[in-house]
Amino acid sequence: MKTIYLLFAFVILFVSSCSDEAKALANCTSLTADMVQAQGEYNPDPTSDGFSDQTAEECQAYGDAYIAWFDAGCEGTEEDGVEELVSLYREPTFCELQHP
């Protein structure tokens, strides 16, 4: 009988850990989609100079989405330059200085 309880506890722990991984993956998928959408609104024409018609509000929306994606530890957050860019967007006046 003890073996059955032990096996049941193991199965419950295994299922809950898989569920947490699935939730994290779904969260990162959603955060990545939000970041891509904000990036598209912030710089809709990637062939332009990138800063001609953008606003501080669009910059901040992109920065907020980028920070949320980074803080969730999604795939790609460990790449070179990502942490430095996040630290810039964490500065309260960064977007205002970029788009006066």
Q: Is residue 79, in this structure, part of any structural domain at all?
A: yes
Mean pLDDT across 57-74: 93
Asked whether the predicted pLDDT for residue 51 surpasses 90, the reply is no
pLDDT per position as a tens digit, 4-34: 544 444 444 444 444 555 555 568 899 999 9
Phi, psi values for residue 71, rounded to 5°: -65, -30
Q: Is residue 82, in this structure, part of any structural domain at all?
A: yes
Kindly report the average pLDDT of the chain as a whole number. Answer: 77
Q: Is residue 10, in this structure, part of any structural domain at all?
A: no
Q: In Å, what is the CA distance from 29 to each residue of 18, 37, 45, 73, 78?
A: 16, 12, 24, 12, 17
Asked whether the predicted pLDDT for residue 46 surpasses 70, the reply is no
C-alpha closest to that of 58 among 86, 74, 75, 37: 37
Q: Is residue 17, in this structure, part of any structural domain at all?
A: no
Q: Computed over its alpha carbons, how large is the radius of gyration of the chain?
A: 20
Q: Is residue 76, in this structure, part of any structural domain at all?
A: yes
Among the residue ranges 15-29, 55-69, 72-86, the one predicted with the least confidence is: 15-29
Rounded Cα distance between 24 and 31, Å, is 10
Q: What is the dihedral of CA 84, 86, 89, 91, to 10 degrees?
A: -70
Q: For the chain, what is the domain count?
A: 1
Q: What is the pTM of this model?
A: 0.69
- Expressed as residue numbers, the domain containing 64 is 22-98
Q: Is residue 14, in this structure, part of any structural domain at all?
A: no
Q: Is residue 52, in this structure, part of any structural domain at all?
A: yes
Q: Is residue 60, in this structure, part of any structural domain at all?
A: yes
